[in-house]
Amino acid sequence: MALFKIAVLEGDGIGPEVVSAALKVLYRIGELAGHHFETEKGLIGGSAIDEKGTPLPEETIKLCLEADAVLLGAVGGPKWDHLPTEERPERGLLGIRKALDLYANLRPAKVYEPLIEASPLKREVVRGTDMVVVRELTGDVYYGEPRGIFTQDGKRVGINTMRYTEDEIRRVVRKAFQIANLRRKKLTSVDKSNVLEVSALWRQIVEEESKNFPEVELEHLYVDNCAMQIVRRPSSFDVIVTGNIFGDILSDEAAVITGSLGMLPSASLGDRYALYEPVHGSAPDIAGKGVANPIATILSVALMLRYSFGLIREADLLERAVEVTLEKGYRTPDIYTEGTIKVGTEGMTQAVIQTLEELW
């Protein structure tokens, strides 16, 4: 019986509700598959500020460093909006990503047939869309030096520097090839190498790494063209890999064509550690009402099973169970349409567990 240790950071707002829902599903998988998932809770975000005076207490970092994976809810809310930037709940998120040296952000964007009407695109265009955007998290124009607002000849000039080292590119590109290998074996690398030297280096490294993954089909796209192709032919993408700023934009673009924030999971991977969390925030407007959609967090658990624990069959079954539960007609209010079955967080969780048992 395999033992997996998970640090659980519920955070604020609906964070505790969706995390406890996802853990119920995880424990059931443990029983069905004969694995032991050991969980321990830590404080992060606003609730950590209230109890410990800081959004990321030392003991939370220690807990995460000793775990095999981290599951996070969401942080923030109006209660802490008055605080200065450096003291806000979101600092906890940045801090934990840094402490765990996470450099690859995975954002799957999948269109579920029962929810196809929620997409802003025509159904013939989005049908079958199932892609993952892999965004580099630690470098690029967000961190490059020099940066700042300077004065030159009496006029102000704003400067940021797009910068990537060979090693920073290689590790995220390699991760993306590995992910493509576990999926449909197609990788799209996105850059702007027609104008940017940093992109020319990016493309060179991608070409070098592709020699280690001959079974993965590789295409290069310029970022402006990629932005168009995502709305034109979304179902043709499998894995997209790109730098921090292009990835920031493309991951949101890919997400919005699926139509539902409550359905989107994410993973942030490093060499040693990994963190899994829904894309949505703490949703203060619905917190405590028992209506939050737990699927984004349940699907984040599926990513954890696949990428941290290598439990591919369990991950596939869980994703399939979510799909079948939607086919059966279960909907939380955020994805409800007439003629479907309206349930709350607990109802959706139980429906997924029930489906999982049927599929097992």
Closest to 329 measured CA to CA, from 115, 111, 109, 120? 115
344 is in an annotated binding site: no
Q: Residues 203, 170: contact at Cβ < 8 Å?
A: no
Here the contacts of 167-171 (C-beta below 8 Å, separation 24 or greater) are 168/103, 168/136, 168/138, 168/139, 169/136, 169/201, 169/202, 169/205, 169/206, 170/205, 170/208, 170/209, 171/103, 171/104, 171/271
Selected catalytic residue, list 68, 130, 248, 334: 248
248 binds, among ligand NAI, Mg ion, none (CB under 5 to 8 A by kind): Mg ion
Q: How far, in Å, CA of 17 to CA of 15, rounded?
A: 6
252 noted as active-site residue:
yes
Instruction: Tell me the two tokens of residue 171.
Output: 């590790």
DSSP string for residues in 160-201: EE----HHHHHHHHHHHHHHHHHTTSEEEEEE-TTT-HHHHH
- When the beta carbons of 99 and 256 are compared against Mg ion, the nearer one is 256
- Give the residue closest to Mg ion by C-beta: 248
Question: For strand 130-136 and strand 104-110, is the pairing parallel, antiparallel, or unpaired?
Answer: antiparallel
196 binds, among Mg ion, ligand NAI, none (CB under 5 to 8 A by kind): none
Give, in degrees to the nearest 5, the angle at Cα 58 between 52 and 64.
120
Closest to 234 measured CA to CA, from 252, 254, 220, 218? 254
**Contact between 308 and ligand NAI per CB under 6 A:** no
202 is in an annotated binding site: no
80 is in an annotated binding site: yes
**Contact between 26 and ligand NAI per CB under 6 A:** no
Site for Mg ion in 244-283 (CB under 5 A): 248, 252
84 is in an annotated binding site: yes
**Contact between 90 and Mg ion per CB under 5 A:** no
132 binds, among ligand NAI, Mg ion, none (CB under 5 to 8 A by kind): none
Q: How far, in Å, CA of 70 to CA of 97, rounded?
A: 11
154 is in an annotated binding site: no
**Contact between 86 and ligand NAI per CB under 6 A:** no
192 noted as active-site residue:
yes
248 noted as active-site residue:
yes
224 noted as active-site residue:
yes
Question: For strand 144-152 and strand 104-110, is the pairing parallel, antiparallel, or unpaired?
Answer: unpaired
**Contact between 16 and ligand NAI per CB under 6 A:** no
- When the beta carbons of 91 and 192 are compared against ligand NAI, the nearer one is 91
Instruction: Tell me the two tokens of residue 57.
Output: 């207490």
* Other CB atoms within 10 Å distance of the CB of residue 292: 31
62 is in an annotated binding site: no
* Other CB atoms within 10 Å distance of the CB of residue 93: 23
- Give the residue closest to ligand NAI by C-beta: 281
* x-marked contacts with ligand NAI along 242-281 as a string, rule CB under 6 A: -------------------xx-----------------xx
Q: Residues 82, 94: contact at Cβ < 8 Å?
A: no
**Contact between 293 and ligand NAI per CB under 6 A:** yes
Among 86, 117, 285, 338, interactor with ligand NAI by CB under 6 A: 285
210 is in an annotated binding site: no
Q: Residues 172, 241: contact at Cβ < 8 Å?
A: yes
90 is in an annotated binding site: yes
280 binds, among Mg ion, ligand NAI, none (CB under 5 to 8 A by kind): ligand NAI
Q: How far, in Å, CA of 333 to CA of 81, rounded?
A: 27
Question: For strand 36-42 and strand 69-74, is the pairing parallel, antiparallel, or unpaired?
Answer: unpaired
Which of the ranges 68-76, 104-112, 139-147, 215-223 carries the binding residues for ligand NAI, by CB under 6 A?
A: 68-76
For Mg ion, the binding residues (CB under 5 A) are: 248, 252
**Residue positions forming the annotated binding site:** 77-90, 97, 107, 135, 224, 248, 252, 281-293
For ligand NAI, the binding residues (CB under 6 A) are: 14, 18, 74-77, 90, 93, 261-262, 280-286, 292-293, 296, 334
* Enzyme catalytic residues: 142, 192, 224, 248, 252
**Residue positions forming the annotated binding site for substrate:** 97, 107, 135, 224
**Residue positions forming the annotated binding site for NAD(+):** 77-90, 281-293
